[in-house]
Structure 1
Amino acid sequence: MFEFDQYLGFLAFLTILTIGFWIMIFLLTFVIPYWLGGNLIELYKEKRDAKKAKLKEEEQ
C-alpha cells in the first residue's frame, strides 16, 4: 500500500486537480459570460455613438 509521504503526495495531487476543476467551472459560468456581455454592451454603445455623430454631421 502507500507510505505516508506517497499518501500526502496523492492528497496534494487531488487537491490541486479539484481546485483546477472548480476554477474552470467558475470561469465558464461567471467570468466568460460577464466578459462577453460587457464587450457586447460596449460595442453597442460605440455603434450608437457613431450613428449619433453621423446624424449630427448630416444636420450641419
Structure 2
Amino acid sequence: MFEFDQYLGFLAFLTILTIGFWLMIFLLTFVIPYWVGGAIMEMIKEKREAKKAAQNS
C-alpha cells in the first residue's frame, strides 16, 4: 500500500497539520483575547488620565 518514505511523509504531514490545528486553537482562545483585552484596558487608562489632566488644568 505505502512505501516507507511515503509513510514517513504522511506522518510528517499529519504532525504538521495537528501542530497547526492546536496552535490556531491556542491563539484564538487565549492569546488574541488577552491581547485585545489588554489594549482595551490600556485605552481606558489613557482616557482616564487625559480626563484627570484636563480637570487639573
Equivalent residue, structure 2, for 1:29: 29
TM-score by length of 2: 0.98
Question: Gapped runs of 5+ residues in structure 2?
Answer: none
Counterpart secondary structure, 1:39: helix
User: How do 1:30-45 and structure 2 match up within 5 A?
Assistant: 30-45=30-45
TM-score by length of 1: 0.94
Q: Which amino acid aligns with 1:27?
A: L
Structure 1 runs, 4 residues or longer, greater than 2 Å off: none
The aligned length equals 57
Question: Gapped runs of 5+ residues in structure 1?
Answer: none
C-alpha distance in structure 2 between counterparts of 1:17 and 1:30, whole Å: 20
Q: Which has more radius of gyration?
A: 1
C-alpha distance in structure 1 between counterparts of 2:25 and 2:41, whole Å: 24
CA RMSD of aligned residues (A): 0.3
